[in-house]
Amino acid sequence: MADSTTCPTKKQQQKYQFKIVPLNVRMEGKIFKDGVDLSASQAYQSLDKNPEDWATSAPSPGDFLSAFHKLKKEGAKKIICLLMSQKLSATFNSARLAKESAKKELPDVKIEVIDTKTAAGGENLLCQWLGEKIKSRQEIDEIVLSLEKIREKVRVFVVLETIRYIYRSGRIPEAAAKIGAILPLKPILKISDGLVRLAGASASKEKSKNKILKILKETWDNSRPDICLMHADCFAEIEELKQKVQKQLPQSKTFVTEFSPIMGYACGRGSLLIAFFAK
């Protein structure tokens, strides 16, 4: 199980059958489920028209408890729930509270709720890794121990068109946002120890992309070849980035997925993300 910022590809979803619990988006006076009854393109159109009418929220404990019950009906005896960093969202806490309720309502189901200490592409990589471990029939306790080690190797970098959206979401310090707003730069963010941090900036987006490609080349663990690329409504640009990654690291397994509306709201249109396992 995972939250909707994981944004699995269709191929991943078909292969692993992840149970996705969506975050919520409030826009135009209505509540929508991220990626369920709200597509990314619909979200961006609404965001362009009236950004002040937008708000996001975590799933409720009831949302997670309902998902646990549904999986139990489908035959699940053990559930591993991978979620974005609790430092970025209340999603983890909602799942933790649901787990406490499930102890009484579903006493015969073992549930593990895990903070991935990352989000988006990083979470996607961990879900894919977990899917392979589950298919190999390893014991759940062994999987959880391995997961807690490997999550420390996940690296996530994001190149933004502008810093103003991520500041609006409250996920970077005001001082960093002011600097980014004053200077005509293309910021680079990284998710480190569960927090979003300003990692640098360049005078052009191309230079910022080249910086993260350099980091990728120097630190990528080729024994874990999966590389996740995400984008916010910039299909041509992410395909170009994919080609560069594959040329630079031909042995990599690079795949592309689109930001959920939640991520698009937080980062803004034109944002690019790269996630990989470091040495």
pLDDT of residue 138: 81
pLDDT of residue 50: 74
Residues 6+ apart with CB under 8 A from 153: 221, 224, 277, 278, 279
Fold adopted by 2-152: Rossmann fold (3.40.50)
In angstroms, the CA 121 to CA 258 distance is: 10
With b for 16 or more beta-carbon neighbours within 10 A and e for fewer, the 127-147 pattern comes to bbbbbebeeeeeebeebeeeb
Q: Which pair of structure tokens corresponds to residue 256? A: 């592309």
In angstroms, the CA 165 to CA 128 distance is: 29
pLDDT of residue 174: 56
In angstroms, the CA 190 to CA 274 distance is: 10
Global pTM value: 0.91
What CATH code would you report for 153-277? 3.30.1180.10
**Mean pLDDT split into 10-residue runs, the chain, 279 residues:** 94 94 88 82 75 84 97 95 95 98 96 96 96 86 92 96 66 54 77 89 92 97 97 93 97 94 80 96
Query: Is 9 buried (19+), middle (13-18) or exposed (0-12) by CB count in 10 A?
Result: middle
Q: Kindly give the pairing relationship between strand 154-159 and strand 272-277.
A: antiparallel
| Helix or strand holding residue 108 (H, E) | none
Q: What are the residue ranges spanned by the domains of the chain?
A: 2-152, 153-277
pLDDT of residue 120: 94
Distance of CA 156 to CAs 117, 146, 164, 188, Å? 11, 20, 20, 10
pLDDT of residue 70: 97
Going by C-alpha positions, the residue among 279, 226, 258 that lies closest to residue 39 is 258
